[in-house]
């Protein structure tokens, strides 16, 4: 299915924060691909939060930095201003998604077609998914609900990831299962998170790199961006 391979691995990271640069360096080192979901109206803003007495920066990159920074990966929609879409009327859902998509497309120089829903928990519903499918140029939209399996899904507009990377033990367990998996049907291992969580210690950088090394460079696995794995 993917260059003749039946297994695919893809990563997704939300919010477009300064820690993306360090994560990209690690991903590139192991020939891995990721999609980064950005809020175009928040680019360039400074932000932080406190965890256990430690201040964690969540500063956004400048618009002029986006194309080069993410050049080896994919940029995707996260809405203009990180809104909880189920609370918005249809036309506002369209505006938040499509205007973000168009702004990001202009920044990166290609047609942005991917998306991750902003905000945690149940951050989407069938109405919102239908609006996005029918009124925007988005071709898939990721939730935050882990499936802990590798099965393909019919509904790309409420696509559930395999695992949230802060579920560290489960992520490694699934990686070992996926590597050893022999299959006659296509399977996807989809990992998501926020790179600032590694500065916060929810998952540390060393474990992230260990995971990347473990899952990478397998002859029977295709490594691609979300769009390359889900759409193309």
Backbone angles phi, psi at 77, to 5 degrees: -75, 140
Q: Cα(49)–Cα(31) distance, rounded to whole angstroms?
A: 32
Task: Provide the β-strand partners of residue 50.
Answer: 55
3-state secondary structure of 193: strand
Q: What is the pTM of this model?
A: 0.97
Compute the mean pLDDT over every residue in the chain, rounded to the nearest whole number: 97
What pLDDT is recorded for position 121?
83
Residue 100 has pLDDT above 80, yes or no: yes
- The whole-number pLDDT of residue 232 equals 76
Q: Once rounded to an integer, what is the mean pLDDT over residues 108-121?
A: 95
pLDDT band at 52 (very low <50, low <70, confident <90, very high): confident
Q: How much is the pLDDT for 120? A: 83
Helix axes 126-135, 90-108, angle to 10 degrees: 50
Query: Residue 11 burial by CB count (10 A; 0-12/13-18/19+): exposed, middle or buried?
Result: buried
* pLDDT in the model for residue 22: 98
pLDDT above 80 for 214: yes
Question: 92 or 52: which carries more pLDDT confidence?
Answer: 92
User: What are 205's two structure tokens?
Assistant: 């950088």
Domain boundaries, the chain: 7-230
Q: At what angle do helices 20-29 and 205-215 cross, to 10 degrees?
A: 30
Q: Which CATH superfamily is domain 7-230 in?
A: Glycoside hydrolase/deacetylase (3.20.20.370)
pLDDT at 1 over 90: no
């Amino acid at each position: 299915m993917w260059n003749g391979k039946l297994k695919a691995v893809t990563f997704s990271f939300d919010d477009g924060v300064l820690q993306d640069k360090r994560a990209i360096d690690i991903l590139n080192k192991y020939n891995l691909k990721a999609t980064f979901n950005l809020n175009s109206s928040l680019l360039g803003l400074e932000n932080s939060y406190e965890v256990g007495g430690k201040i964690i920066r969540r500063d956004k990159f400048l618009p002029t930095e986006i194309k080069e920074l993410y050049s080896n990966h994919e940029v995707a929609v996260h809405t203009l201003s990180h809104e909880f879409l189920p609370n918005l009327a249809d036309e506002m859902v369209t505006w938040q998604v499509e205007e973000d998509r168009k702004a990001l497309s202009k920044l990166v120089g290609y047609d942005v077609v991917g998306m991750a829903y902003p905000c945690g928990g149940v951050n989407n519903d069938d109405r919102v998914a239908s609006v996005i499918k029918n009124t925007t140029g988005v071709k898939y939209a990721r939730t935050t609900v882990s499936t802990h399996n590798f099965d393909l899904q019919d509904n790309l507009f409420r696509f559930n990831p395999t695992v949230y990377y802060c579920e560290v033990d489960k992520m490694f367990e699934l990686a070992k299962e996926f590597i050893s998996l022999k299959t006659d049907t296509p399977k996807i291992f989809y990992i998501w998170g926020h790179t600032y969580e590694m500065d916060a210690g929810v998952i540390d950088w060393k474990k992230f790199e260990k995971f990347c090394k473990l899952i990478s460079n397998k002859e029977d696995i295709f490594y691609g961006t979300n769009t390359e794995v889900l759409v193309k």
